[in-house]
Amino acid sequence: MENTLTKNLPILIKELSKKEINALAEKITASVDSGDENSGELYIKLDFLEKALKMAKDAIKEGAIDELKKYDKGQTLGGVEFSVQEKARYTYNHNQTWVDKKAELTAIESDMKVAAKSSNSILDESTGELIPAAKTSYSEFITPKYPK
């Protein structure tokens, strides 16, 4: 079976390395710096590709894990050393003490957000405690909305 996608990638990718990741990123950003690409349009195209690549990776992940488990640790594919690893996830919501403390923390955070919106500390009338405003920081981001 012919791998059309991977046969076309060498046009952009010389080798699979951190150095080549940086070189490719530099080529992409250089197209904006040189005026060949509009930064807004390129950002949207890159966002589109990022989403498509994530969907593709997610779709093949299970099969890839099964395939890569067949290899010994320290093996390489395409010059890239890989390993299949496991990650533990912990849940605590079965512990009532944790649930109660989490709810208490959420309430404190909520009160601090209210204080931040008022640009001042606020008084908790039930306890007489002065609740400080949460510290805020802002960042700008782009939210593309793709047509269906």
Q: What is the pLDDT of residues 6-47, one digit of tens each?
A: 555 555 667 788 988 898 889 889 989 999 989 999 999 999
- Of the listed ranges 8-22, 89-103, 106-120, the one predicted with least confidence: 8-22
Report d(CA 23, CA 36) in Å as an integer. Answer: 18
> What average pLDDT does the segment 43-61 reach?
94
Assign 101 a pLDDT band (cuts: 50, 70, 90): very high
Q: Which residue has the tokens 């490719």?
A: 24
Assign 51 a pLDDT band (cuts: 50, 70, 90): very high
The neighbouring-strand residues paired with 130 are 123
Average pLDDT value over all residues in the chain? 88
Which long-range CB contacts under 8 A does 88-91 form with residues at least 24 apart? none
Give ∠ CA 139-142-147 in degrees, rounded to 5: 160
Picking from 81, 102, 82, the residue whose alpha carbon sits closest to that of residue 91 is 102
Assign 143 a pLDDT band (cuts: 50, 70, 90): very high
> What average pLDDT does the segment 57-70 reach?
92
89 in Cβ contact with 101 (< 8 Å)? no
- Evaluate the CA torsion angle 38, 44, 50, 52 in order and state its sign: negative
Chain-centroid distance, C-alpha 28: 20
Residue 82 has pLDDT above 90, yes or no: no
Residue 113 has pLDDT above 90, yes or no: yes
Question: Rounded to 5, what percent of the chain is helix, strand, coil?
Answer: 50, 5, 40
